[in-house]
Amino acid sequence: MTGASAALKRSAPVPALPRFRAPVVFGILLLLFIALIVRSLYLQWIDNAFLQGQGSSRYSREIEVPAHRGRIVDRAGEPLAISTPVKSIWALPGQVEAAPGKLALLAQALETTPQALAKKLDDGSDFVFLAKQVAPEVAGRVAALRIKGIHDQNEYRRFYPAGETMSHILGFTGDRDVGQEGMELTQQEWLGGKPGSRRVIIDRRGDVVEDVEAIRAPQAGRDLALAIDTRLQYLAFRELKAAVEAQLAKAGGLVILDAQSGEILALANWPTYNPNARTKVAREKMRNRALTDVFEPGSTLKPFTIAAALESGKVRPDTVIQTAPGTYTIGPNTIHDAHPNGALTVEQVIQKSSNVGAAKIALSLPAATLWQTLADAGFGTPPNTGFPGEVSGRLRPAKTWKPIEQATMAYGHGISVNLVQLARAYTVFASDGELKPASLLKGNGPVAGRPVVTAGTALAVRRMLELAVQPGGTAPKAQVPGYRVAGKTGTAHKLEGRGYTNKYVSSFVGFAPASNPRLIVAVMLDEPSAGAHFGGEVAAPVFSAVMGSALRMLGTPPDAPLDNVILPVEGGEVREET
């Protein structure tokens, strides 16, 4: 005790603490403490959105659930358009950090040269696609390089196994697999999938550990079945291509319809394009001419004039019409038959395709009657196949017709149609006088059509059409071994500017077997310039080849002996009028 007090006395005296110091310190600590509590209460209950958001962004993710686009298949279920996942690789050039060696590896993975890659990365933009729509394996190799600033994204790419043979019908899809042309465009609603999204919890490694909620369920696109038969389509395409090339034509079209249901079994156009590689395709080649272009049909329209006349009772198949001397003058205009014929029965008017005969028959009818038959046969209204941009053609109201127009209308001038319309109109003669709906979508067997003429008239015209393809008619080259064929040629001068030119549109429309029609085939060649231009010489052989092979493929029983084809001797052919 004494030692301690001695030590105290030896050191300097301790100054006395001010008496208020303890309460002040205590007060400050208390205030700080209150501030902390207030702050925490504020963060917990009032301003919590930010922190909550930050928190959840560390463990939860909203991820997109991809949805497939539906397939397009043909009537037998063969796929015509399929989407498969691919990846696109993009870069943010400003953020790319990699050793030159790695960039070389990247170039190798992308199948390009390091120079080309460097050029892409140095072009000054903030964002650049290094490769679009590459196979997932390629993207996997790129991702394995782990280069900063290089990313990939999931996409779908659509493939068309049929390539150029069917590109006009199917069309194609653009970015994000959305339909841009053809059936891909019109059926977008049906085919397109709607991607869903869901919220999940992820762990430290980024693996999903828990499904929190489905925000939107993905909706896969539905498959679309077309009426097209791939085999017939290929056949039609092959024959059309061969014919266009042989005849040096500018363009061509070929349509095959099912005579019972009106379904479009094949629809080929030339020129065409490959939908799988269409970087530099002219719009011109993408046009589905058979549906979006019109032409003056020429003589292929005559059967409808005759049908209207038969229907009205003005003529019978054996009524005689005087067509001599091969010209017929109406006011200031004169109609010509290039090969004058003399007196012909109505049957022979079709068989020999006499313009004068058809004009005389047409003028014996009221304009409204002829108009009604043509309108009922579907001319002047779009064929409603479900294809975008199909045209209606032109059929002017009967009230505006002058007599000369009524006369030329009888043989298919002054009226315009598209090829599908023309083929569909022939369902009237291939059935019992009913117009069937032409459809690109698969239906279920025969359908009831809209009556246009009576069964008797349809049968009478069918017989005349059979005469037209036999020797003595305009198209013996349309005959098919083993089958009875009925059909009509057409050769029309092309209308350019204000007048007709010496360019032609040659066509043939027909059906077989005539005893029980199964198929209708319509062929059209635009500006054949290899010498011949008559429908019977240019289009009829195409018809014969397509019809023969198509009936064989479909296994249609023959309705005639196999040696039924009789071709007239050279020079003895009957030329039709134009």
Where do contacts with another protein occur on this chain (CB under 8 A)?
68, 71, 78-80, 82-85, 159, 161-163, 165, 207-211, 230-231, 234-235, 238, 481-482, 549, 557-558, 562-563, 565
Asked if residue 359 lies in contact with residue 336, where contact means CB atoms within 8 angstroms, the answer is: no
Sign of CA dihedral 142, 146, 147, 150: positive
Q: Could you tell me the smallest distance in angstroms from the CB atom of residue 189 to another protein?
A: 21
Degrees, nearest 5: CA angle 225-264-556: 100
Q: Which is nearer to another protein, 269 or 408 (CB)?
A: 269
Catalytic residue among 83, 167, 261, 299: 299
State the Cα torsion 268-270-275-277 to the nearest 10°. 150
DSSP states of 244-301? HHHTT-SEEEEEEEETTT-BEEEEEEES---TTS-TT--HHHH--HHHH--B--GGGG
Q: Which residues contact 250 (CB under 8 A, 6 or more apart)?
A: 526, 527
Q: Which is nearer to another protein, 369 or 564 (CB)?
A: 564
Q: Which is nearer to another protein, 88 or 345 (CB)?
A: 88
Q: Which is nearer to another protein, 165 or 260 (CB)?
A: 165
Q: Which is nearer to another protein, 179 or 449 (CB)?
A: 179
Take residue 350 and report the two structure tokens written for it.
């079709």
Q: Could you tell me the smallest distance in angstroms from the CB atom of residue 68 to another protein?
A: 8
In whole angstroms, what is the distance from residue 184 CA to residue 125 CA? 33
Asked if residue 537 lies in contact with residue 473, where contact means CB atoms within 8 angstroms, the answer is: no
In whole angstroms, what is the distance from residue 48 CA to residue 426 CA? 75
Q: Which is nearer to another protein, 236 or 362 (CB)?
A: 236
Q: Which is nearer to another protein, 326 or 558 (CB)?
A: 558
Q: Could you tell me the smallest distance in angstroms from the CB atom of residue 277 to another protein?
A: 14
Q: Could you tell me the smallest distance in angstroms from the CB atom of residue 158 to another protein?
A: 10
In whole angstroms, what is the distance from residue 55 CA to residue 32 CA? 27
Q: Could you tell me the smallest distance in angstroms from the CB atom of residue 248 to another protein?
A: 23
Q: Could you tell me the smallest distance in angstroms from the CB atom of residue 210 to another protein?
A: 6
Q: Could you tell me the smallest distance in angstroms from the CB atom of residue 403 to another protein?
A: 48
Take residue 390 and report the two structure tokens written for it.
């199909």
Q: Which is nearer to another protein, 46 or 562 (CB)?
A: 562
Asked if residue 487 lies in contact with residue 468, where contact means CB atoms within 8 angstroms, the answer is: yes
Count of C-beta atoms within a 10 Å radius of residue 186: 20
Q: Could you tell me the smallest distance in angstroms from the CB atom of residue 233 to another protein?
A: 8
Helix (H) or strand (E) holding 240: helix 230-246
Q: Could you tell me the smallest distance in angstroms from the CB atom of residue 38 to another protein?
A: 34
Q: Which is nearer to another protein, 299 or 479 (CB)?
A: 479
Q: Is 312 a catalytic residue?
A: no
Asked if residue 510 lies in contact with residue 469, where contact means CB atoms within 8 angstroms, the answer is: yes
Q: Which is nearer to another protein, 139 or 321 (CB)?
A: 139
In whole angstroms, what is the distance from residue 348 CA to residue 523 CA? 23
In whole angstroms, what is the distance from residue 494 CA to residue 413 CA? 10
Take residue 30 and report the two structure tokens written for it.
């208390």
Sign of CA dihedral 305, 310, 311, 312: positive
The residues pairing with 439 across neighbouring beta strands, listed in sequence order, are: 263
Whether the upstream peptide bond of residue 513 has omega within 30° of 0, thus cis, is yes
Phi, psi of 329 (to 5 degrees): -105, 125
Asked if residue 450 lies in contact with residue 324, where contact means CB atoms within 8 angstroms, the answer is: no
């004169």: which residue's tokens? 334
In whole angstroms, what is the distance from residue 419 CA to residue 270 CA? 13
DSSP states of 100-128? HHHHHHHHHHTTS-HHHHHHHHTSS-S-E
Q: Could you tell me the smallest distance in angstroms from the CB atom of residue 135 to another protein?
A: 10
What amino acid positions are annotated as catalytic residues? Answer: 299
